[in-house]
């Protein structure tokens, strides 16, 4: 839209491309709701007022008109589908802007992973922004597919959709003035740097924020969130599939009547089935209003707050000059989405997409599982007098360490209370393999394997016999990543995730039933009903969550922060 066109439409001297009439406009600047018309020209809002004419006109019949929602921090890969599939599901529920951190795929493919996500999201009806992953690999206690240094990050600085630096998980590196960490912080000085600071407080928090960290999405208590707000951080209120912090944080905010300008909504990790059922930011809005937050305040968290935190000009408001990214709502309690406009084009009507779109090709991300030939004794337990065992804690991703004697291990394997677990380096075919023991998983017979294993995403497999362990590994090599279930040498089912071993490019109508079938089959194989068979495995190789983990380098005690000797 030229300046001349904008001025002429606003003055009523020419017709707009589109006029939305009889709208109850949510004004995120004043907190008001007012009846008005919205004139749209060239994909942007030319005017909000009355008496406008358009080449096209739509009567909203008194429905609410809000800015498009902003998901302030998410990992697309955690949905297990590619950006085109993920974005369309977000769009269905009113999200028109995403702040993404491609941390998972970058741990597999390095800078090529970032480039893949940018290419796969190009041209979609969603504003797709990237925070460049800051910690690849996440720890030195496992082998990832790449190392992303400050020098390698520099080539992305001119990419217009790269906003800043992704969540800085290396808190010890920040406060310890690690030169590699400081180089990354210096590289993104003046840009938004996301934080990852669970339970950090006091002088440590002051130093962390002073180093340039701008946001945090890890607060689990109101007191923690308030301290971070007082330190100048923006607090991203997280409500995902596993981490649900919204009620705790916003209950305190509402009770204490805190200023909400530095709060925004995010999901971090949310599964596709949950997004399909309830949305992301829309679900946050429902919960916030249910807690007693005024609807317009909640919408500010969902729109203008996030836009201003990340410096996104022209996004997050229904006002002249802003992008015509708009959500039509039936109500301000359930936030039922009636329609979604992106750049002035109606993309969603009554939950259905108005424009058919093709999915992106797999490209170079389709070949990422490279495993060295396994020795005949690859899954043999190391000789020990006592063995450390990972015991699952029901309903949590933390584990417990239990030490058993050799006799107790043999008895547990025989009776089924223990299962072998292995993590195999799958990026460079190094042959690295860690073997250990798992309790509480419940698998009766066979093997379960996945290439989704946070954060380095090596191949992880659990089973009761070596033959099925071998067969499961070979199946994931064949399909180039995903989930698989094996029993007596037979592959009972596989869910290929060929994009970096993390994502499928199938549409939700195909992917979700296939996933549900795999989950049901795993439970029929005896996996405990109260755990997700694959997500549970995916966290067992993450050596930053207590107490005991297994990486391709061996058994790691998080409490002492060292490998079990």
pLDDT tens digits along 177-191: 999 999 999 999 999
- Segment 476-491 shows an average pLDDT of 97
Treating both helix axes as pointing N-terminal to C-terminal, what angle do 246-256 and 222-230 enclose, rounded to 10 degrees?
A: 60
Give pLDDT, residue 545.
85
Whole-number Cα distances in Å, 19 to 7, 318, 452? 15, 13, 47
Q: How confident is the model at residue 362 (pLDDT cuts 50, 70, 90)?
A: low
Which segments of 200-269 does DSSP mark as H helices, in order? 202-210, 222-230, 246-256
Has residue 140 got a pLDDT over 70? Answer: yes
Q: Give pLDDT, residue 356.
A: 82
Q: What pLDDT is attached to residue 436?
A: 97
- Kindly indicate the confidence band of residue 101, based on its pLDDT and cuts at 50, 70 and 90: very high
> Where does 349-448 have alpha helices with state H?
406-415
Q: How far apart are CA 130 and CA 39, in angstroms?
A: 31
User: How much is the pLDDT for 360?
Assistant: 57
The encoded tokens of residue 257 equal: 């009547």
**Ranked by mean pLDDT, which of 23-37, 384-398, 497-511 comes out on top?**
23-37
- Average pLDDT, integer, range 447-469: 97
The whole-number pLDDT of residue 406 equals 95
Nearest one of 271, 270, 275, 228 to 249, comparing CA atoms: 228
Average pLDDT over residues 74-91: 96
In the predicted structure, residue 313 carries a pLDDT above the cut 70: yes
Q: Does the CA dihedral 85-454-363-168 come out positive or negative?
A: positive
Q: What is the pLDDT of residue 142?
A: 93
Q: Which residue has the higher pLDDT, 119 or 359?
A: 119
Structure-derived torsion over alpha carbons of residues 308, 311, 312, 316, reported in degrees to the nearest 10: 0
Is the entire prediction scored with pTM above 0.85? Answer: yes
Mean pLDDT calculated for residue range 389-403: 91
Please tell me the predicted confidence (pLDDT) of residue 2.
Answer: 81
Say what the pLDDT of residue 487 is: 98
110 has a pLDDT exceeding 80: yes
Task: Grade residue 361 by pLDDT with cuts at 50, 70 and 90.
Answer: low
Banded model confidence at residue 357, pLDDT cuts 50, 70, 90: confident
The pLDDT value given to residue 359: 63
In tens, the pLDDT along 22-59 reads: 999 999 999 999 999 999 999 999 999 999 999 999 99
Q: Are 66 and 303 in contact (CB under 8 A)?
A: yes
pLDDT value at position 386? 95
| pLDDT bracket for residue 514 (50, 70, 90) | very high
Instruction: Report the b/e string of 85-115 with b at 16+ CB within 10 A.
Output: bbbbbbbbbbbbbbbbbbbbbbbbbbbbbbb
Task: State the pLDDT at residue 544.
Answer: 84
In angstroms, how far is the first alpha carbon of the chain from the final one? 66
* Residue 430, Cβ density class (10 Å: 0-12 exposed, 13-18 middle, ≥19 buried): middle
């Amino acid at each position: 839209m030229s300046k001349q066109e904008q001025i002429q439409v606003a003055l009523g001297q020419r017709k707009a491309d589109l006029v939305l009439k009889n709208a109850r406009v949510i004004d995120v600047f004043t907190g008001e709701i007012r009846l008005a018309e919205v004139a749209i020209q060239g994909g942007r809002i030319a005017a909000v007022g009355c008496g406008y004419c358009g080449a096209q006109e739509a009567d909203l019949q008194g429905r609410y008109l809000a800015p498009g929602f902003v998901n302030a921090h998410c990992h697309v890969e955690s949905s297990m589908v590619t950006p085109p599939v993920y974005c369309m599901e977000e769009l269905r529920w009113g999200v028109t802007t995403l702040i993404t951190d491609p941390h998972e795929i970058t741990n597999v493919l390095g800078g090529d992973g970032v480039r893949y996500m940018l290419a796969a999201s190009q041209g979609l009806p969603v504003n797709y922004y990237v925070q460049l992953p800051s910690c690849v690999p996440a720890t030195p206690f496992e082998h990832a597919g790449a190392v992303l240094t400050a020098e390698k990050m520099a080539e992305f600085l001119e990419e217009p959709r790269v906003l800043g630096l992704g969540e800085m998980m290396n808190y010890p590196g920040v406060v310890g003035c690690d030169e590699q960490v400081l180089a990354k912080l210096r590289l993104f000085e003046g840009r938004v740097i996301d934080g990852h600071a669970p339970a950090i407080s006091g002088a440590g928090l002051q130093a962390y924020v002073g180093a340039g960290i701008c946001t945090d999405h890890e607060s689990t208590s109101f007191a923690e969130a308030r301290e971070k707000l007082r330190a100048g951080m923006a607090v991203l209120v997280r409500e995902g599939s596993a981490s649900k912090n919204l009620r705790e944080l916003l209950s305190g905010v509402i009770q204490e009547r805190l200023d909400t300008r530095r709060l925004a909504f995010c999901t971090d990790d949310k599964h596709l089935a949950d997004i399909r059922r309830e949305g992301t930011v829309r679900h946050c809005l429902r919960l916030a209003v249910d807690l007693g937050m005024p609807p317009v305040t909640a919408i500010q968290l969902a729109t203008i707050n996030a836009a201003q935190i990340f410096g996104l000009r022209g996004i997050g408001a229904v006002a002249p000059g802003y992008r015509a990214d708009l959500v039509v709502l039936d109500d301000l309690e359930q936030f039922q989405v009636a329609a979604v406009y992106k750049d002035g084009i109606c993309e969603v009507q009554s939950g259905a997409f108005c424009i058919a779109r093709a999915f992106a090709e797999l490209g170079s991300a389709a070949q990422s599982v490279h495993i060295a030939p396994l020795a005949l004794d690859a899954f043999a337990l190391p000789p020990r007098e006592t063995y450390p065992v990972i015991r699952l804690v029901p309903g949590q991703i933390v584990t417990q360490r239990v030490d058993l004697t050799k006799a107790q291990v043999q008895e547990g394997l025989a009776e089924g209370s223990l299962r072998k677990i292995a993590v195999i380096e799958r990026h460079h075919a190094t042959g690295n393999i860690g073997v250990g023991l798992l309790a509480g998983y419940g698998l009766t017979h066979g093997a379960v394997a996945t290439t989704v294993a946070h954060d380095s995403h090596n191949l992880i497999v659990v089973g009761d016999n070596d033959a099925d362990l071998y067969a499961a590994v070979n199946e994931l090599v064949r399909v180039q990543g995903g989930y698989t279930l094996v029993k007596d040498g037979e592959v009972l089912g596989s869910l290929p995730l060929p994009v970096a071993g993390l994502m499928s490019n199938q549409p939700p109508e195909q992917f979700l039933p296939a996933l549900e079938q795999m989950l049901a089959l795993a439970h029929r194989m005896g996996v405990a009903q109260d755990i997700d068979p694959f997500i549970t495995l995916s966290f067992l190789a993450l050596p930053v969550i207590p107490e005991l983990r297994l990486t391709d380098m061996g058994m790691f005690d998080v409490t002492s922060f060292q490998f079990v000797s």
